[in-house]
Amino acid sequence: MGLVLVARREDRLLALAKDLTADYGVRCDVITADLTDPAAPQAIMARVTELGLDVDILINNAGLSGSGAFADTPFVELANEIQVMMTAVTELAHLAVPGMKERGFGRIVNVSSLAALMPPAASLLYTAIKSYVLNLSQALDMELKPHGVHVTALCPGFTHSEFHDVMGTRDASNKLPAFLWQEADAVVREGWNAVDKGAPVCVPGVVNKVTAAAVKPVPLWVGYRLGKSLNPFKN
């Protein structure tokens, strides 16, 4: 058994791989890749094959989000969001699934968001993309569960990570009440338990579960108006 870490920053990956091997005695390989590159998914899987490994567990966790209005954002930035969080997620799953089916075992966790369960709001493509990930995961789980492959959409809310630093929204996020936040390790544990048990959707944390349940009965037209009222880019 081995672990393959994939991200853009090799130095960070190597340091993490060293720590994981020391702490858990697990083989840990590193692949540097930028998922905004359409060739990245094929290259990643080719490298995994070269390493002599099978993909029994796939975690699609890469993400980014724009910080401006749709019409004011260069399309290349929007295309990068689509490539990283939609196209790469779909292609990596498509490349991994045949082997999982053949071996009769597989686990796929696709990181969606609590936003996918909320009324639509102006967050550029983020909410739309995460809704796609949610629906894709459920459809794949229906198709693949008879073959021993479980797929779960993990839908976290506010989680302590580097996401807000990278996106430049740290100051705004720091103003949110502490009870809304979760630690990353708690989200990971709940997400893994969900996919292992065969749950197609996981909303981690009590506050997030209550929030998701509260908005579920909202009619589409009410949700749309609510989303419009929360639009930070309206004139």
Write out the catalytic residue numbers. Answer: 126, 130
User: Does residue 65 come out as left (phi exceeding 0), alpha (psi in the -120 to 50 range) or beta?
Assistant: beta
Structure tokens at 182: 């979760």
Other residues' Cβ atoms within 10 Å of the Cβ of residue 193? 13
3-state secondary structure of 34: coil
| Cβ proximity of 136 and 87 under 8 Å | no
* Long-range CB contacts for residues 181-190, cutoff 8 Å, separation at least 24: 182/156, 182/157, 182/158, 182/208, 183/159, 184/159, 184/160, 187/154, 187/156, 187/159
Q: Which residues contact 205 (CB under 8 A, 6 or more apart)?
A: 156, 157, 182, 186, 187, 190
Closest CA to 12 of 39, 31, 37: 31
CA pair distance 6, 28, nearest whole angstrom: 11
